[in-house]
Structure formats: C-alpha cells, structure tokens
Structure 1
Amino acid sequence: MASAVSSTTPPPVEPPPAPRAGYGQLLRTPGAWSFLLPGFAARQPFAMLTISIVLLLRHTTGSYGVAGVVAAVTGASMALFAPRSGKLADRHGQSAVLVPGVLIHAAAAALLTALALVHAPLWALIAAAVPTGASVPQVGPMVRARWAAVLGDGATSGPGPRSGRHPLPATAAAFESVTDELTFVIGPVLATGLSTGVHPASGLIAEAALTLAGGLLFAAQRRTAPRPGSTRADTRERHVSALSVPGVRVLAVAFLGIGSVFGGMQVALTAFTQEHGQPGLNGVLYGVFAAGNMLAGVACGAIAWRTSPRRRLLTSYAALTLVCSTLWAVPTPLPLGGLGLLAGLCVAPALITGYTLVEALVPATSRTEAFTWLTGSVALGQAAAVTAGGQLADGFGASAAFTVPLMGTALALLTVVSLRARIAPRGGATKEIRHERGPAAPRPESLRAADTS
C-alpha cells in the first residue's frame, strides 16, 4: 500500500526563488556606510593616476610615448603587486596592509611629481613609477571582501556558488561596479581639470592626497573588516592561490581586455582633443564613456536576470569589441562621445558578471586575492594600452591610438569564447541563475537526486 501511495503522489514542486534584493536593502546593511564613504574617497585615485601621469609628462617632455611608458610602468607594477597585497590582506588583515601602503604611495607619487618637474631622465622617472604603482591601495577589492563579510558568509562559504545563502551578494557586486564607474566619471574629469586649469602637476598631487586621506580613514574602520586568516578549520584552504583556479585565469584575460579599453581611451582621447585644439574636452569625453559604464551598472544591479553570468559576459564582451572597432574612424568629438557612451554601456556588464563569477569560483579565504587579480589585470591591460597608444599617437595620430582597444578586446574575446567552459561555476547554469536571483527554499530529496542524475 505504501508503495502504491508513493507511486501516485506527485513530486513536490520547488517554490519560486525570492525576488532580487534592491539597492535600498543593500544600503541598509548594518555597518555598510562606515566603509562605503571612506572607501569611495580612497578608490577615487585609481581613476586619476594614469591620466594624471600622462598629462604631467606630456607637458614636461612633449611626448605621448614617454608619458605612456612611465604610466605603463606604474600600471604594470600595480598589476604585479596587487595580488600579493590581496593575499596579505586575506592573511593579516586589511589595515595591516593598507596603512603602510598609502604612506608609501603618497611619498612615491610626490617623488615622481618632483622628478617630472625638474625634467629628470627617463630612467629616474621609471624608477619612481615602480613604487608609485606597486603601492596603489587595493580598496575596491577590499570593499568587495567587506560586503561578503558583513552579508554573513565571508567566514563560512567555500568554493562554488553560494545560492540560497543571502539575497544580496549579486546586488552588492552590481553596486560596487557602479561605484567603480562613478570614480571613472569623476576621476578623469577632476584630474584633467586640475592638470589643465591649475597646474600640470596638480592632478597627481591631488591623487596622492586623496589616497592618503581616504586610505587611512578606510583602514580605521576595523569593525567591518574580514577577520584575518578566516575561520575555516581546513587550513589547506588558506594557502590556495586564487590564480590556481582555471576560471580565474580566463577572467583575468577578459579583464586585461577591459583594461586595454580604459588605457587606450585615455591616451587616444587626450591625443584626439589635442589634435582638435580642445584639450579641456578630454575629461568630458572620458567622463561620457565612464557615465555609460555607470548607467549600465545601475541597470545591471536593478534587473533580476534570467540568463547566466557567463552568457551575459560573452554577450557584453562581443558588443564591446564591436563598438571598439568603430572608434578609429570617427572624425569629430560629438560622434566620438556617442560611441564612447556605447562602449561604456558594454563595459559595466562585463565587469559585474566577471566579479560575480569569480566570487563563485574561489573559496572565501582567497576572495580578496581573486578580486585583486582581476583589478591587477585591468591595470596591466591599461598599462600595455597606454604604452601602445602613446607610441601610435606619436607616430600616426589619435586615430591609430584608437585601434588599441579594438585589438585588446578582440584577443580577449577570442580567449574567453574558446575557454568559456572554465568560467562555469560548480553546479552549472541552474545554480548560476539561482545565485543571482536570491535564496530559494531547500530542494526536496527527490529533486536533488534528479539534479545529480
């Protein structure tokens, strides 16, 4: 009789997933504002550093090529040292890494400014650029790690998607991307305005001052910081490098391409506005590009997506490559601003989904390091693009410099498409979607058995 009843009883139906949490709920998280406000000030210089160096050295040397080389060394140093900084923050705490870092960065940036103003040789500028870049505080990844900690799973979640644990992580990832893009709206405009309207060195001086003040204020907020070393009993997790995860390496390549857009656009727009006799328009055009990033980021955080992050990454990256293929042919500033806006609209979804995917691919004990690998990849791509763009702008003009974002995104897109299977979080697309929508009720045994079959 029991078997007859069980054979006719319909299987339980899984309840629909909870609705996506919004920005309002996210910002009401206890303790959030204590690290958001100083974190915003401390990450602002990230968007100011490259353009400030380019504008200062273009003024003192008269060469985009020299300016690009020094800016590239700065970016490469940041890319190489950022993951180490993230790993140290995971093990020893954010304040222990951040406080000496911002002090060193302020001193190194001041030295680089002084050397540029006295027309020091290239080797001296490069020597000062190394510590300037290496000491850039990784505030963005640290803020993301704090979100994971205050949302309740930073000490307990392991590798794989965290579906069903909290409705806010995907919204936090989108919010952080919006914040990043807002810094790229304000930073280049501020740096350009100071460098062209006040003094060529004032942009870099302001960058160092903001880094010092914001970094120290952020480091002082210890209550919301993740606990050093995590609380996992399995100590083997503590020493797993984030870069050992194949999906992280693929995402790092994708972020290299995004960095090539940032760096290529900065140099190409500077050369373009110089050629048209409107150097002050550079910050406005780059601000329009960054505004597109911010608007798309706001939309990404507000939408309850039904497609997986991996699919959205591929789609947005293909669109970004398509837009970049048209930049070199634009003759005047107005249509260039429109295309820059479109490019920005494509960048934000790629960034957001990349951070969402990497959070599902690595254990919590390596999360800050993983975020810094992506941030460092952006910096490295930016550095390479600034170098290539500067050489092309010197030799062939601004139109040639605009081919750098195209080449960077095209090569990265080819890599990501070829290795797309490696960026699928454990559990496949179903768990990816559930991770973004929010928590669902526990699955009945019959359905969980079906999932594994």
Structure 2
Amino acid sequence: MAFLVVARESWFVVSTGSSSTNPRRIDWSVVSSYAELLKTPGVARIIAAQLTARFPNGMLSLAFLLHIEHQTGSYGAAGLVLASTSIGQAIAGPLTSRLMGVWGMRRVITITMIVCALAVTSIAVIGMPVPLYMVVGFIAGITTPPIQPAVRTIYPKMVNSQQLTPLFSLDASAQEIIWVLGPVITTFVSLQIGTVYGILLAVVFLIGGGIWFLSSPELGRVRIPRSRRRLGVVLTKPTVLLATITGFLLVGACAAIEAGVVSVFGEGGAEAGIVLAIFAIGSLVGGLSFGHIPISPWALARRMFIVFVGMAAASAALNVWWLAITLFVAGIGIAPALAVLFAIVSSSVKFSDTAEAYGWVGTGQLIGAALGSAIAGFLIDHSGSVGAFWAAGGFALLGFLAAFIGRRWSPDLRGRDASPIPDTQPVPVQPS
C-alpha cells in the first residue's frame, strides 16, 4: 500500500497555495526540470562520461561469473573469484578516494584505470587455476577507478543548491543503466558470442569512458581538499553508515536477481536479456517519476519496500511473464532509493569528507554486486535457480529493515539544501 501512495505522489503535486488553486494538479515542471538541468554547462557531458567509465561495474560481476563457470564448470569457483574481487574493492573505495585529496583526481584515476584494465584483460585471455584467478581478481578490485566519489564531489560545485537533489535523482536513474542494463549487454555478448568478449567489452568501456571522464574540464576546476580526519572516521557518521549498508544490500539483491535470471533461462535464448531489460525499464521509470518527491526520513524505507515486494514475489513462478512483471515492480524502487542515498550523504558531511564518504558508499555497492552474484551462484549449485531469487529476496528484506531501523538517522530534506557542509577553510577552485 505504501508504494501505491508514493507512486501516486510522483505524478501529482499537492498545492500549498491559496484555496482557490486546484489542490491537486499535474506538475509539468517535473518533466521540464530535467531538461533545464541538462542545459547547465557541463552537466550532460560529465554524467555521460562518468556513466561510461563506470559501466564495467555493472558488467564484470556477471561476466566473471559466466566466464569462470565456463572455465571450471562450477558456479562455486566463480563465487570465490568474485569474493576476492569484492575484498579488493572494499579496500580500494575509501583508500583511493582519500588519495584524490593528496595526489589529485586525474593522477589517481589514471593509475588505477591502467592497472585495473590489465588485470581484467588477464582474466579474460589467460587460463589460470582458481587460486590465481582469485589473486588477479583481487588486483582488479583494489584498482577499481574511484569515478563515483570523484563525480559526486564535483556535482555540488556544478549546480546551485536547488538543482542538487534533482541532479542526484537524474544521476541515480542513469546509474541504473550501469547496474541493470550493463548485465543485459553482458548476457547477450557472453552467451551469444563468448564470455571472453563479454569481459573485453567491459575493458573497452573502462578505458574509453575513463579517458573521456579524465578529459572533463571540471576535474581541473575542482580540487578535493585534503581531509584532516583519519581514514574511516567519516564512516562513524550514522547517515554515511546507513547509506553504505543499504546500498550494499540493494545492489546485492540486484546482482542475485541477474544471476538467477541467467540461470533460469540458460544460455540458448534471449529471454534472460528481455527480462533484465524490463527490470531496467522499471528502475528508470521509478527514478524519473520520483525525482522531485521531497526526501523525508521515511523515504528510503518506503522505496526499499517496493524493491522487496517485487523480488520476493519473483520466486513464486520462474517463467518469463511472471518474472517480467514482478521485476518491473521491484525496479521501480531501485533508482529512487539510490537517489536518497546520495542526497542524505551529501547533506551530512563536510566537503573535504565527501569523496571518502562516497568511496565507502561505492565500496558497499561494489561489494554487494560481487557478493550478491557469489551467494546466488552457490545457491544455484545447491538448490537450483530459485536459490538466487531467495538470495535476492533476503538481501532486499535486510535492506528494507536497515532503512526502517535507520530512519532516525536519515535527515529530513524537505525544503532543505542537500549540499555538503562547508569546510571552515576556503576550498580552492582552479580556473579552467
């Protein structure tokens, strides 16, 4: 019932004007505001560039799962490789984000991009025993380029305070192309052409998108100040911890769903890609529709509940029509939930701590993608395809409970600026 109320509010706006005004009307500014936002200099370009650079984040978990399973004949072995990759990503997120305040964004992103591309390519083209796959996977994980914390730190310097929350919503909708459409592309390429090509396509996005993002002038205009706190202190903020845990569980649920869909329909048809595409469409519709709903302390729990309902229902019948319907419902909550995560983190930390805070949030999401696929793989081996949907439902339920319990730490952003807390010292801005 809660998600029906939220969905209704996404299309209609309650007027707070005089009594003579129609109390419930369609707010066409919701539609036009995204177009106006994209006209802001640099916004469309940097969204597209960072989206391309981060696209492998939504491809590699499933690509590794398929490739290692082909090489070893075991989803369990693939799960071990994904787990080692997730450990590397857990270390990398906050660490490389902090380094950007010391070495600069361009230098850190360039170095990590090159090493990560070499490691991922090695997994694709070199046959290895499982322990060596795990080592190379760890290297690929620890050198994941910190694109997300960089762009989240840049956003508040590109738009005014009124545009920041809609920008987070638009970015969250675009991010769903990474987490949901990315696996669709990986599925088609890996199953129709070959798993090696599925991984190498991710490398093309990694390098091409990384170069595009590095060429953005905004990286030269904004310098992340060196944080004066110890590494990890920002994670003691309840809001940052809430966003990290919930993001981990949300993306873990999505990754388990993706593995389950591929397992259900096998490698011979296009049904898996179609179902995942519908999943993506649901998320895009939700993100664009909910973008201007004011963020209350209950917003995250409500949106996670939508995800849980859809994913829990999906396991009832593993056929293409039922999965398409239930996953479309689940998708409606995904991008709106991510938008809440970005906004509450931005409004709760100082500018010098934003990169590290988003590094932790990004780490949670990347670990969720890897472990969601890994746990789903083990359950598929032992319980069949339905095991992956059980895993997804479990992740989504825990995500809803985390958001419900943590609502007391979720700031009320209704009518409030979502920009980071200013530092006490001036933040240098370099001319382009």
Report the TM-score, using the length of structure 2 for normalisation.
0.84
User: Matches of 2:229 and 2:132 in 1, distance apart?
Assistant: 42
CA contact (8 A) 1:241 1:366 kept: no
Letter in 1 for 2:388: A
- Is it true that 1:35 corresponds to 2:46 in the alignment? yes
Q: Percent identity?
A: 21
Mapping of 1:278-317 within 5 angstroms? Answer: 278-301=268-291, 303=292, 305-306=293-294, 308-317=295-304
CA–CA separation in structure 1 for the residues paired with 2:350 and 2:141: 28
Conservation of the 8 A alpha-carbon contact between 2:93 and 2:146: yes
Partners of 1:413 and 1:399 in 2: how far apart?
21
More contact order relative to length (CA 8 Å, sep ≥ 6): 1
Residue deviations 1:209-243 (CA, integer Å, cap 9, x gap): 21012112211224445633439xxx747978421
What is the 5 A alignment of 1:65-84?
Answer: 65-84=76-95
2:111 alignment counterpart? 100
- Aligned partner letter, 2:304: Y
> Do the aligned partners of residues 80 and 95 (structure 1) sit closer, same or farther apart at CA in structure 2, a change above 3 Å counting?
same
Distance 1:343 1:60 in 2: 33
Once the two structures are TM-superposed, the CA of residue 435 in structure 1 deviates from its matched residue by 2.4
Amino acid corresponding to residue 124 of structure 1 in structure 2: L
Residue of structure 2 in register with 1:365 after alignment: 352
* Change in CA separation of 1:207 and 1:244 when aligned onto 2, cut-off 3 Å: same
Mapped pair 1:221 → 2:216: yes
Please point out which of 351, 374, 396 is paired with 1:387.
374
Uncovered stretches (5+) of structure 1, i.e. residues with no partner: 1-13, 153-165, 439-453
**Count of residues in correspondence between the two structures:** 393
Q: Distance in 2 between matches of 1:278 and 1:199?
A: 12
SS at match of 2:85: helix
Write the distance in 1 (CA, Å) between the matches of 2:130 and 2:46: 39
The one-letter amino acid paired with 2:93 is A
- Residue 396 of structure 1 corresponds to 383
Are 1:149 and 2:157 an aligned pair? yes
Given that 2:79 and 2:374 are in contact with CA atoms closer than 8 Å, whether structure 1 keeps it comes out as: yes
> How far 1:403 moved relative to its partner?
0.7
Q: TM-score, normalised by structure 1?
A: 0.80
- Distance (Å, rounded) in 1 between the aligned partners of 2:232 and 2:148: 21
Given candidates 121, 135, 139, the residue that maps to 1:127 is 135
Q: What residue in structure 2 maps to residue 256 of structure 1? A: 248
Once the two structures are TM-superposed, the CA of residue 345 in structure 1 deviates from its matched residue by 0.5
CA distance in 2, matches of 1:79, 1:141: 14
1:161-176 pair list within 5 angstroms: 166-176=161-171
Q: Distance in 1 between matches of 2:220 and 2:314?
A: 42
Sort the Cα spacing of 1:288 and 1:311 in 2 relative to 1 into closer, same or farther, 3 A: same
Secondary structure in structure 2 of the residue aligned to 1:435? coil
C-alpha contact 1:38 1:214 (8 A) present in aligned 2 = yes
Alpha-carbon contact 1:321-1:409 (below 8 Å) kept: yes
More off after superposition, 106-115 vs 319-328: 319-328
In structure 1, the partner of 2:182 is 187
Q: 2:52, 2:206 within 8 Å by CA — same for their partners in 1?
A: yes
Structure with larger Rg: 1
- Asked if 2 retains the 8 angstrom alpha-carbon contact of 1:261 and 1:404, the reply is yes
Structure 1 runs (4+) greater than 6 angstroms displaced: 237-240
How far, CA to CA, are the matches of 1:248 and 1:437 in structure 2? Answer: 14
Post-superposition Cα deviations, 1:108-149, rounded to whole Å, max 9, x if no partner, equal 01111123xx3x211011011001122222323322222112
Q: Helix, strand or coil for the counterpart of 1:137?
A: coil
Alignment root-mean-square deviation, CA: 2.6
Deviations 1:399-430, CA, capped at 9 Å, x for gaps: 12211112122223323322321222xxxx3x
Q: By how many angstroms is 1:278 displaced?
A: 4.3
Partner of 1:434: 415
Q: Distance in 2 between matches of 1:437 and 1:247?
A: 13
Distance change >3 Å, CA 351–CA 226, structure 1 → 2: farther
Q: Deviations over 1:36-61 (max 9, x none)?
A: 33222212111111111112122222
Q: Per the alignment, do residues 309 and 96 of structure 1 end up closer, same or farther by CA in structure 2, a change over 3 Å counting?
A: farther
In the superposition, relative to structure 1, how do residues 225 and 143 fare at CA in structure 2: closer, same or farther (>3 Å)? Answer: farther
1:48-78 CA distance string (max 9 Å, x none): 1111111212222222221222123223321
Measured in 1, the distance between the counterparts of 2:224 and 2:299 equals 33
